[in-house]
Amino acid sequence: MNRLQRILLNLFFAGLGAVLMWGILHRQAGRWNKSVAAGSMAQAVASPVVVPPKILYWYDPMNPGQHFDHPGKSPSMDMPLVARYAEATAKETTADNQGIRIEHGMAQQLGIRVGTVKKGMLPDVYHTTGVIAFNTRELHIVQARTGGFIEEAVTSAVGDEVRPTTVLAHERVPEWASAQADVLTLEHNGFAELAQSARQRLQALGMQSSEISQLEKTGKIANVIALRAGYSGILMSTEVRSGMTVSPGQTLTQINGIDTVWIDSALPQSQGLRYHPGDTAIIHIPGQSGGALSGIQGHIIQVLPTVDTNSRTLTLRIELPNPRHYLRPGMYAEVQLLSKNEPARLLVPSEAVLQTGNRSLVFLVSSPQHYQPVEVKTGREVNNQTEIIAGLQAGDRIVLSGQFLVDSEATIEGMEVRPLAADSSTVTPLVQQPMHMHSVPAAKAMPAMEGM
């Protein structure tokens, strides 16, 4: 075989090898493409198409209650608005209904204390003032029992304190001399019936039974009598003078007792109508803290029937015991009025109520470790107890302390508040919306951000 034949034979075998190699590679490439296609198809079947979540609105992170229709920046803090997704809202609905969750350990670190809403009596206390005055129902008048003239007037002046046995004057009664002589003569002669008639005549002339007994015992005629006060109290007026002539029934003195005194306290008519006779009043005399003139208990005896036309006030008349006569008419007094006709009310400690300006909030323990902000309507506050008119029920457990930290956390998370409305499904945001956002639609509030 010559050289040319060998070269042609080598080229033939080389071409045949190339064809065989190309066939093998082409077959392997087909198999690899099929496996990739099958894998891609399986992966496509196993992995669903990812759909981006629906955005409900955008809100200001510093004011979650302020909503917007488009992304942008906060008009107040120049911060990017945050999107609120429908899926996240659905997941948070259950948590929102139960309230913010705080673990037990964290609650202890925050100093959260829990108490129970209870029914109780809320003392209806009203603070006012008044001036102590005489009890005019203890005003007594001393009159002459019979005609005569004053031999001697005992020195007494208006304002003196007298006793029942205090002698005011000595009066000579000429008519008594003959009447006493008749009694003694008839008794001495044994005319008992006539003597009894003579005694009655002496009584008609103003002689007291004790004086008649003294006459029969001593047998001495006495036509000068001692005019005694007969009552204890303060001498309000006196007309007794030495040498003056008096007639039967003539007023000699006026004496006002001070065993009890009055305080007339003026109240606005809206307050005065809440109190009634029998309600308790506690009296304090300024400057006498802890002494006999502090914490004196009296009671209302009358609500005067007229209203002062100038001040539009009602006057309550309070009666106070004054056994030691420490209370003097004219003293200034501080008065606490307590009403005893109050029904049982829902009460919570005042520290449990958060005042936000236009509403009051209480954090309700809706379930273990969950705290729900609840709007309440409050009434009066007395002795650190606040009356709850609406929003809570007896037996509800509420946060007593640490609620400011809970409130801050709820505000950050945009926690919803349970309102006072009957429809509990309607909630209002914990963060108050600015007033201008209520008057301007959201679509008109956004153009300020279009330039960004």
**Which pair of tokens denotes residue 127?**
């603070």
Q: What is the largest CA-CA distance in the chain?
A: 211
- Among candidates 440, 439, 416, 418, which has minimal Cα distance to 429? 416
pLDDT score recorded for residue 291: 66
pLDDT score recorded for residue 365: 85
Indicate yes or no: pTM above 0.85: no
Question: Alpha helices of 243-365 — where are they, by DSSP H?
Answer: 269-272
Q: What residues contact residue 141 under an 8 Å CB cut-off, 6+ apart?
A: 251, 253, 254, 255
Rounded (to 5) percent helix, strand, coil in the chain: 30, 35, 35
pLDDT score recorded for residue 449: 37
pLDDT score recorded for residue 176: 83
Place of tokens 């919306």: 433
Buried b (16+ CB within 10 A) or exposed e, 268-306: eeeebeebeeebbbbbbbeeeeeeebeebebebeebeee
Contact (Cβ atoms closer than 8 angstroms) between residue 191 and residue 183: no
Residue by residue, DSSP assigns 289-318 as: TTSTTEEEEEEEEEEEEEE-TTT-EEEEEE
10-residue stretch averages of pLDDT, the chain, 452 residues long: 67 67 62 54 50 75 75 79 66 54 73 85 82 95 88 87 91 85 87 87 81 84 85 92 90 94 90 86 81 84 92 93 91 87 82 83 81 85 84 87 69 67 46 37 38 35
**Which pair of tokens denotes residue 181?**
């002589």
Which whole-number Å values give the CA distances from 36 to 29, 39, 44, 48, in the listed order?
11, 5, 12, 19
Contact (Cβ atoms closer than 8 angstroms) between residue 124 and residue 93: no
pLDDT score recorded for residue 198: 86
- Phi (first) and psi of residue 187, to 5 degrees: -65, -40
- Phi (first) and psi of residue 184, to 5 degrees: -65, -40
pLDDT score recorded for residue 73: 82
d(CA 31, CA 434): 68
